[in-house]
A and B are shown apart, each in its own frame.
Chain A
């Protein structure tokens, strides 16, 4: 099912033509209207006229979260303030928040891309869409709302929280599509059970889950608990909010709405573009946004590009599920490794969602990694040789995947710290003063 078949299935040649025109216009406007961009262009001697093909995008300087903080609050706006009709903001947990401004046209586009997302998950005018993403400065709630309104579905703007009421509403209204973070969905399943409501008896048929990193194992769990089809949605405040990319029913990667956003994947260390299929940092450029054009924004999200033709018929390229954040990247003995690689190794060997912690030390000028893995009921054996075998298998698989030799230590269940939000996976004890 398509929301906008003509655009979602555009012949590639035509798509590239539209993209180039839109990129040229965006760069020109950014250069003329946003002093911050102009200064950065001038510093390296690039002008909008240097953009002659889509590949020329590599001449444009990157924009980082730090750049956006520097111009807080409105320094990236490319239109007069009275043209801005709505403001959103990303949480400022690591510094000043980032402000995003939308014109009426931007809100229109946001609704369009979100309508495409919801339609991919099977939403129609006859559906009841419960929006359990937060409404407010966070983009989640409003983004889904605008998309569902475009489709003409019945919107239940529940926002996040008040879980018991959420579940009663789902039961009493017969909600068919749930949108929230995947961890909140799992929490709702637990609460429903506590309330004596079996989640599979709800009328839910699909869900769009995102705004945080999650895994295939979580998808299976959500689908099983609710008996629904779970889709992965991607987006970020700096670019537009939710609606940058979404999975089609193939569920093999997320289609990026390329008529509005340009996709690159780069080596986070060198900034050089990486070939398709190779994992690196996702870089996005908006090509239709009026209020706040974003040129080569470094998302810090790790993914790779899938350019093979998708059986669903859409011509937009896909990105694989977000694999981590560049902030989580660790360099050990000169090799880049990510927690997800270690997670994958443990998952393969143990067969269960692992709890682990990575500790990096430098005892004698050489980095050493210790991976603490919690013992699970399933893998515990009362014979030493089996446990030592398990430890060796884990060490071998982690070395195969990361290329780094590590020491695995088996620890008791629940002995590693848990946190409400992001688990603290890495403890770097190397002294950097050396």
Chain B
């Protein structure tokens, strides 16, 4: 149920984001979801891509600092309150979220939410209790 996410350290410098994305494009790696966390000096680019291992290798060859991180991808109904409901259950059970980002799948019926918490196994169990659909790697590839 854990999904591999590509995390990249980016200095706030002209062209670095483009260079990272270009390297992936040249290797024909497709990006499924993307988010950037930034501070005044640096940012972290987080991506779900079609081939994370190869993506890591390509980026490292291009002198980027890269890490593969486990995250959870869950599907929530694309309607008001869909995400809040899922998060309340985590909140009630004292699971803190490190970061979260979302995208809407092509059909537009459900939103995919990527999240990392301090305890992934506990999070998976809690979400499954609530019958929330967690995406497998195959689900991610067919999105």
Q: What per-residue 1/0 map shows which CB atoms of A372-409 lie under 8 Å from chain B?
A: 00011100111111011000000000000000000001
User: Across the interface, do A384 and B65 meet the contact criterion of CB distance under 8 Å?
Assistant: no
A410 within 8 A of B: yes
A390 to B116, alpha carbons, bound, how many Å?
A: 20
Q: Interface segment, B9-17, B73-81, B125-133?
A: B9-17
Q: What per-residue 1/0 map shows which CB atoms of A414-431 lie under 8 Å from chain B?
A: 110000000000000000
Q: What per-residue 1/0 map shows which CB atoms of B33-45 lie under 8 Å from chain A?
A: 0000101011010
Inter-chain residue pair count (beta carbon < 8 A): 51
Q: What's the tally of chain B residues with a CB closer than 8 Å to chain A?
A: 22
A412 to B45, alpha carbons, bound, how many Å?
A: 13
B93 within 8 A of A: no
- CB < 8 Å: which of A377, A385, A409 contacts B65? A377
A376 to B67, alpha carbons, bound, how many Å?
A: 11
A411 within 8 A of B: yes
A271 within 8 A of B: no
User: Across the interface, do B9 and A380 meet the contact criterion of CB distance under 8 Å?
Assistant: yes
A277 within 8 A of B: no
A413 within 8 A of B: yes
User: Across the interface, do B41 and A383 meet the contact criterion of CB distance under 8 Å?
Assistant: no
B69 within 8 A of A: yes
User: Across the interface, do A382 and B69 meet the contact criterion of CB distance under 8 Å?
Assistant: yes
Closest chain B CB from A388 CB (angstroms): 7
Provided the pairs A384-B37, A384-B39, A387-B42 are in contact, do residues A415 and B11 lie with their beta carbons within 8 angstroms? yes
A410 to B40, alpha carbons, bound, how many Å?
A: 11
A375 to B11, alpha carbons, bound, how many Å?
A: 10
A381 to B44, alpha carbons, bound, how many Å?
A: 9
B139 within 8 A of A: no
User: Across the interface, do A412 and B39 meet the contact criterion of CB distance under 8 Å?
Assistant: no
Closest chain B CB from A83 CB (angstroms): 58
The residues of B that contact A410 with a CB separation of less than 8 Å are 9, 11, 41-42
> Which residues, 1 to 33 on B, are CB-close (under 8 Å) to A?
5, 7, 9-11, 13, 16
A163 to B66, alpha carbons, bound, how many Å?
A: 34
- CB < 8 Å: which of A376, A382, A412 contacts B7? A382
A409 to B65, alpha carbons, bound, how many Å?
A: 15
The residues of B that contact A376 with a CB separation of less than 8 Å are 65
User: Across the interface, do A375 and B9 meet the contact criterion of CB distance under 8 Å?
Assistant: yes
A377 to B7, alpha carbons, bound, how many Å?
A: 12
Closest chain A CB from B33 CB (angstroms): 14
- CB < 8 Å: which of B11, B13, B66, B99 contacts A383? B99
A153 to B37, alpha carbons, bound, how many Å?
A: 63
Q: Can you offer 20 A-B residue contacts whose CB atoms are under 8 A?
A: A375-B9, A375-B65, A376-B65, A377-B67, A380-B65, A382-B5, A382-B44, A382-B69, A384-B99, A387-B9, A388-B39, A409-B41, A410-B9, A410-B42, A411-B11, A412-B9, A412-B10, A413-B63, A413-B65, A414-B63
Given contacts A380-B66, A413-B63, 20 further A-B contacts (CB under 8 A): A376-B65, A380-B9, A380-B65, A381-B67, A382-B5, A382-B44, A382-B46, A382-B67, A382-B69, A383-B99, A384-B39, A384-B99, A385-B98, A387-B39, A411-B11, A411-B42, A412-B10, A412-B11, A412-B13, A414-B63
Which 3 A-B pairs rank lowest in CB-CB distance, beginning with the nearest?
A382-B7, A380-B65, A412-B11
- Residues of chain B touching chain A, judged by Cβ–Cβ distance below 8 Å, are 5, 7, 9-11, 13, 16, 37, 39, 41-42, 44, 46, 63-67, 69, 98-99, 116
- Residues of chain A touching chain B, judged by Cβ–Cβ distance below 8 Å, are 375-377, 380-385, 387-388, 409-415
